[in-house]
């Protein structure tokens, strides 16, 4: 039933008055895996100054500890990551990752400048300074994946920093 609710929602952008760290943290709070990860393993692929800043700041997750790691070329994604944050990648690199991720319980967060926009579950459009984030939920990619995002995530667009 939850999947039906998510699929019924339009994939729409949400303007957030939060920075990237807060946005990612809150999206993760609404995400459910078939088996709750402990710790939550967040991997980073591609290049991105936003991702590097996120790695330095760390990510909080209400479900427990978070392990951050840089994914090196050729490393298995599904066995090492519960979340994959994708910065700039070339098409061949993304196609290899997408093939490996097919049917796996890995949430993909993609910056808008990457080739993974067609298959990434959460698309991030980050203002250059990283102070404001717009995101979209790709309902097709989410429906094909094994993780679920509660429809309440769309309420993030209504929250603003004071």
- Torsion-angle region of residue 77: left (phi > 0), alpha (psi -120 to 50) or beta? alpha
Specify the 3-state DSSP secondary structure of 84.
strand
Instruction: Quote the distance between the C-alpha of residue 29 and its chain's center.
Output: 11
Which backbone phi and psi does 93 adopt, to 5 degrees?
Answer: -65, -45
Torsion of CA 39, 27, 103, 4, to 10 degrees: 130
Give me the pLDDT at residue 160, please. Answer: 46
Provide the 3-class DSSP secondary structure of residue 144: helix
Architecture of the domain spanning 2-158: 3-Layer(aba) Sandwich (3.40)
Confidence band of 94 (pLDDT split at 50, 70, 90): confident
| pLDDT value of position 95 | 87
- 128 or 81, which is more confident? 81
Query: Domain-by-domain residue ranges, the chain?
Result: 2-158
């Amino acid at each position: 039933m939850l999947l039906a609710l998510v699929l019924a929602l339009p994939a729409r952008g949400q303007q957030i008055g939060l920075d990237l760290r807060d946005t990612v943290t809150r999206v993760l709070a609404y995400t459910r895996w078939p088996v709750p990860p402990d710790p939550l393993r967040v991997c980073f692929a591609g290049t991105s100054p936003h991702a590097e800043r996120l790695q330095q700041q760390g990510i909080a997750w209400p479900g427990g500890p978070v392990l951050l790691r840089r994914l090196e070329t050729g490393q298995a994604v599904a066995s090492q990551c519960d979340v994959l944050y994708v910065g700039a990648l070339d098409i061949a690199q993304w196609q290899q990752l997408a093939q490996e991720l097919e049917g796996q319980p890995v949430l993909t967060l993609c910056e808008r400048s990457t080739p993974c926009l067609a298959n990434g579950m959460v698309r991030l459009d980050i203002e250059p300074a990283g102070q404001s984030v717009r995101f979209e939920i790709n309902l097709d990619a989410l429906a094909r994946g094994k993780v679920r995002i509660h429809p309440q995530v769309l309420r993030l667009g209504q929250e603003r920093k004071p």
